[in-house]
Amino acid sequence: MGNIIFKEKKGSMSEYSNIINKMVWSYSKLSMYEQCKYAFYLKYIVNDNKQYLDEGNYYAESGSFVHDTLAKIYNNEISSDEAIAYFINNYDNNIFHETYKNAMDSTFEKCSDYFTEKKFEWCSKYEIIDVEKKVNFKINDYRFIGYIDLLLHDKKNNKIILVDHKSSKYPFKKNGELSKGSKEIFEKYKRQMYLYAYAVNDVYGKFPDKIVWNHFKDGGRLAEIPFSKRDYNKSLKWIVDTIHDIEKEEDWPDKKDIFYCNNLCGFRSSCEYNL
């Protein structure tokens, strides 16, 4: 039944083109297309919240709340000593969806430990350039928008450090190699950060010298890589190629992933393929 309903809802390529040509791109849009083309179709082409309700999820909400709390600290709206109380007192007001109880309990405990132990103070030795910086830029003729979690300046060597807060596990083994289970997601993380590196250069006239991921649910461990022009060019190629694929897409097939479909996808309660 899902395939029949899906085909009936298709519009013409000209209709798609009009929508896609007006689109302001972001990494999250490209990532959604890669994850599930049909989810992208429902969110950005159909865009009908009455028929296809786009709902949030616990993982996104808890991650966003940690980001917001860190932003308040780095913007001096709350002190590092006040962070844990702010996190606990405002947690329920920022979480609207539930998932597995053990996952929710674990997330709350790990984030509480993170703010209690002040593992976010590592960057105090740097000058903060921007926090949750909104950037608008163009790649070729494609318009983009992004939000940079944290941008730092090392006064000692005049280097720029690009930081992103992540809820995932620290990806490296003791010998410095990527763990087997982290390779795919780490490549995605790099693409996102190299997209932001483009914006940093566009705004400040300089590429970041180092890219850092702050894994706040893994004790605040920091994963670091030097800026690589090779990986930067590779990421930009993936970004442009993905947009070209979207421009040519006609079928918008689903991609069944049990965890994603049941927990992360905004259309998990309304998508024909998940009913």
pLDDT in tens, 177-214: 999 999 999 999 999 999 999 999 999 999 999 999 99
User: Which pLDDT score is estimated for 11?
Assistant: 55
What's the whole-number mean pLDDT along residues 66-70? 98
User: Which pLDDT score is estimated for 10?
Assistant: 52
What whole-number distance in Å separates Cα of residue 50 and Cα of residue 258?
Answer: 24
Q: For the chain, which residues make up each domain, given as ranges?
A: 58-117, 126-239
Task: Give the chain's largest Cα–Cα span.
Answer: 63
- What's the predicted TM-score (pTM) here? 0.92
What's the whole-number mean pLDDT along residues 216-236? 98
What's the whole-number mean pLDDT along residues 98-123? 97
What's the whole-number mean pLDDT along residues 13-17? 74
Helix ranges (DSSP H) in the chain: 2-8, 13-21, 27-35, 37-40, 58-74, 83-90, 101-117, 183-204, 229-248, 258-259
Does residue 7 carry a pLDDT above 90?
no
What's the whole-number mean pLDDT along residues 134-162? 97
What's the whole-number mean pLDDT along residues 233-248? 97
- Please give the structure tokens belonging to residue 57: 């999820």
Class of the CATH domain delimited by 126-239? alpha beta
